[in-house]
Structure 1
Amino acid sequence: MGFSVSGSAALIFVAAFIGFGMFYSAAANSTELVNDAREDRSDRQLERTNTDIEITTVNYNDVSNYLNITVENTGATELSVSDVDVLADNSYQTGYRTAVEGNEETDLWLPRETLAINTTTAPQPSQVKIVTGPGVAATAEVV
């Protein structure tokens, strides 16, 4: 065998080594991203499973057009008040006031604590829906 055969074999071996290195890097990164996404999905599902809320009272004041809602965190997950959405007759409410156990400054809503929501809406809605950050919702009729 001459130098050309040995040189060609060495060149092919180096090219295969570089090609395998590039393929392995891309495959390893992709696999890692997919595994991270699966873990995130599993964590979100666990959080959703451990989250539960119950609307305890809903009152509407005809004079001031105030809608007062109290919601209890009956699950095992701590929730964020800023992630709570309020819908009155499928109309998204904004600018409402909240208080957790009387504290208007906190954003943390722990299990077994009550969240009070006050919003102005007219006319009187027939139902309200409260949606938490993990996507768990509760619906109640307005009294």
Structure 2
Amino acid sequence: MGFSVSGSAVIVFIGVMVAAGIAVPSMVGSFGSLTGAHGNQVDRGVDALNTGISIETATYDGEPDEFTIDLKNVGSTTLGVEETSVLVDGTIPPSSDVTTDVEGDQTAGLWLPGDTLTVTVERVDTEPDRAKIVAENGIAETASGSEIVIL
């Protein structure tokens, strides 16, 4: 081989090494992010499997136009009170019309396993046909029809 062929081969080899030196750290970072995202997805799945809520009572009182729902956390996951949503007949009521308390504590931010969360929705003008509670991780429970007690 002449010098030009050997020199060209060295230049190409150095170029490949520089390109690999640039590409490998990016790929390692991407694989690390992908692994972290997969771990987060697994954690969310485990939380969803360990979440259980049960509607104990759903009562509509037409005199003060209040709809009260008592829920029990029957799973093993601690849930956030603020992250728990209520829908009445498919509509999310204004937050100013919704009050919550956990075991009588209106300032509680966490809903521990075994605790009862009471959600009271004010200004419900008509008898509700359906109520749905959705936990922060998407687990939901619904009361409808005869499950709702009308006072």
User: TM-score by structure 1 length?
Assistant: 0.93
Contact 1:71 1:115 in 2 (8 A): yes
Within the candidate set 127, 131, 148, 1:128 is matched to 131
Moved more, 21-30 or 51-60: 21-30
Note the C-alpha offset of 1:91.
Answer: 1.1
Judge which range, 133-142 or 65-74, deviates more. 133-142
Matched residues in 2 for 1:52 and 1:24: separation? 44
State the one-letter code of the partner of 2:125. A
Compute the displacement of 1:3 (Å): 5.0
Counterpart in 1 of 2:111? 109
Aligned residue in 1 for 2:17: 17
Could you say what the CA RMSD is over the residues aligned between the two structures, in angstroms? 1.4
What are the superposed Cα offsets for residues 60-94 of structure 1, whole Å, 9 maximum, x if unpaired?
A: 11111000111000000000000110011111123
CA contact 1:85–1:93 (8 Å) conserved in 2: no
Partner Cα distance (2:52, 2:82) in 1: 17
- Is 1:73 matched with 2:76? no
Indicate the residue corresponding to 1:60 in structure 2.
60
Letter in 1 for 2:64: S
| Residue identity in the other structure for 2:108 | T
**Higher alpha-carbon deviation: 14-23 or 64-73:** 14-23
Distance (whole Å) between structure 2 residues aligned to residue 75 and residue 93 of structure 1: 26
Distance in 2 (alpha carbons) for counterparts of 1:117 and 1:94: 13
Distance apart, 1:8 and its partner CA: 2.7
Paired residues, number: 143
Matched residue type, 2:117? L
Q: Is contact 1:81–1:107 with CA below 8 Å preserved after alignment?
A: yes
